[in-house]
Amino acid sequence: MIVSAAWILPAIFAVINRVAQARLQGWEPATIRDLLFEGGDWFLYAFLTPGVFAVSKRWPLTRAHPWRRAVLHVLFAVLFCVAWATFGEIFRVLLMRIFAPDLFQTALQAGAAQFWRQIGLEWLSWIFITLPFGVAVYLCVVGIEHATRYFVEAREREVQVARLSEQLSSARFAALQAQLNPHFLFNTLNTIAVLVRDNDQRGAVRIVEHLSELLRSTLTRHRANEVTLGEELELVRQYVAIEQARFSDRLRPEFRIADTLLSAAVPSFALQHLVENAIRHGIAREPDAGLLLVTAERSGDVLVITVLDDGVGFDPTAAIPPGHGIENTRERLRALYGDNASLEITRRAEGGTIATLKVPYREMLPEPNGETS
């Protein structure tokens, strides 16, 4: 760990200080045992640093419980000071045993009980000496951990925002591409031409308005990763209205969505893609199909949206190619909600497909300019 390695510098300065003080104060020259203790004592805290990081990560200083966490870290600071003093005293005795064996044996022969009592007193004294500086060191390490974690999280948020922006652009482009699909436009224009030839001017105008509104909604929704269910549903209704004119003899759309759910937040274009897949890849390929059922309900803190059709049915053994609308939607769900959202595509027992979208329930209000907050 980089922070643990950073203790090398204080250790070097501690050794330099011991040598300089010996010269300035007229002490005896520092022995190897003295220098090892001065530098090694700092390395002891290098081994404690990962523990401080673990504690800081487990109980971070948050706005939820600031005073409780502050008291907890003060207690941990004291514990780490005791650990530092304990390891330091053990290290000092080991150095004496290795580099001054005669002195060590003499002290034991003079009285083992007295020797270990003296070690205990020095250990207790070392705790109180370490306490003020050790608490400051602990808090500095906690501050470094918090700063490092916040920096990493900020970078991850930037990457996530960039990824979401890219995915939104891809979703918007895919939706626009679907609307501008030559077959879609040809069929829409052909439907308008048929209505005009049949002198159904009102129907022709209605289809033109739907197409215009569909393109406008797709083009203007350029920044929002989430929109209200009501806004997404309006886009879906425009799309379905055009397709219904094309499949007027069999397309039977049905929307079972309570008004209380229209302010719920949903990923932009997610529902539109599911409905588009149901019509293009399900109903359009089955001459006798025509049922399109869109439902939404709240289950606790989860919004459950289903798109059901009675088309050709979903093949669970078929691999979804990379870049497909379904896979893109799942990736956006992971980026927006992590593991709290899902998209499942299953085959209906009666024939057809059921797409189930689950996202965390959260309400949002549309702004006057059409975006959401």
DSSP codes joined into one string, 249-297: TT-EEEEEE-GGGTTBEEETTHHHHHHHHIIIIIITT-TT--EEEEEEE
CA distance 188 to 348: 30
Please give the radius of gyration of the chain, using alpha carbons only, rounded to the nearest integer.
35
* Structural contact between residues 306 and 332, judged by C-beta atoms closer than 8 angstroms: no
Hunting for tokens 């055009």 — which residue is that?
242
How much is the pLDDT for 262? 94
Query: Does position 1 have pLDDT exceeding 80, yes or no?
Result: no
Measured CA to CA, the distance from residue 228 to residue 236 in angstroms comes to 13
Q: Within this chain, do residues 320 and 186 fall inside the same structural domain, yes or no?
A: yes
What's the pLDDT at 176? 46
Cβ atoms of 80 and 48 within 8 Å: the answer is yes
| Closest by Cα among 352, 301, 302, 359 to 330 | 359
- Any domain includes 365: no
> Quick check: 52 and 63 in contact, CB under 8 A?
no
Residues 125 and 212 in one domain: no
Whether residues 25 and 68 fall in one domain = yes
175 falls within a domain:
no
The yes-or-no verdict on residue 181 having pLDDT over 80 is no
Number of domains in the chain: 2
Whether 124 and 199 share a structural domain: no
Question: Which pLDDT band, with edges at 50, 70 and 90, does 300 fall under?
Answer: very high
Q: For residue 290, is it within any domain?
A: yes
Domain assignment of residue 20, given as a range: 2-158
Give pairs for 26-35: CB < 8 Å, separation 24+. 31/99, 32/99, 33/95, 33/96, 33/98, 33/99, 33/100
Mean pLDDT of 241-270: 88
User: Are residues 112 and 37 both part of a single domain?
Assistant: yes
The pTM of this model reads 0.51
Do 83 and 45 reside in the same domain of the chain? yes
Q: Is residue 168 part of a domain?
A: no
pLDDT at residue 213, as a whole number: 79
pLDDT over 70 at 175, yes or no? no
Give the span between the Cα atoms of 7 and 42, in whole angstroms.
6
Helix 66-99 vs helix 101-110: angle between axes, to the nearest 10 degrees? 100
Residue 145 counted as domain residue: yes
Q: Is the pLDDT of residue 203 over 60?
A: yes
- What mean pLDDT, rounded, does the chain reach? 81
Report pLDDT digits (tens) over 29-61: 888 888 888 888 887 878 888 888 888 888 888
Which of 158, 190, 218 is a domain's end point?
158
* Domain final position from 123, 158, 193: 158
Among 33, 53, 34, smallest CA distance to 45 is for 53
Final residue before a domain boundary, out of 105, 125, 158: 158
Residue 364 above 80 pLDDT? yes
- Exposure string for 54-87, b = 16+ CB within 10 A, e = fewer: ebbeeeeeeeeeeeebeeebeebbeebbbbbbeb
Q: Does the residue 128 lie in any domain?
A: yes
In a domain, 369, yes or no: no
pLDDT at 372 over 60: no
Residue 254 to residue 252: CA distance in whole angstroms: 7
- 85 and 124: one domain? yes
C-alpha neighbours within 13 Å on the C-beta side of residue 167: 26
Q: Alpha-carbon distance 181 to 189, whole Å?
A: 12
Same-domain check for residues 187 and 153: no
Give the integer Cα–Cα distance in Å for 325 and 335: 15
Confidence band of 367 (pLDDT split at 50, 70, 90) = low
| Same domain, yes or no: 214 and 68 | no
Find the range with the poorest average confidence among 75-89, 126-140, 176-190, 322-336. Answer: 176-190
Residue 368 predicted with pLDDT over 60: no
Q: Is 312 a member of any domain?
A: yes
Q: Reduce the secondary structure of 4-25 to three states and give it as a string.
A: HHCCHHHHHHHHHHHHHHHHHH
Give the bridge partners for 345, in sequence order: 355
18 and 129 inside one domain: yes
CATH number at residue 242: 3.30.565.10
Mean pLDDT lowest for which of 175-179, 258-262, 265-269, 308-312?
Answer: 175-179
Q: Are residues 57 and 193 in the same domain?
A: no
- 147 with 206, same domain? no
| CA 58 to chain centroid | 17
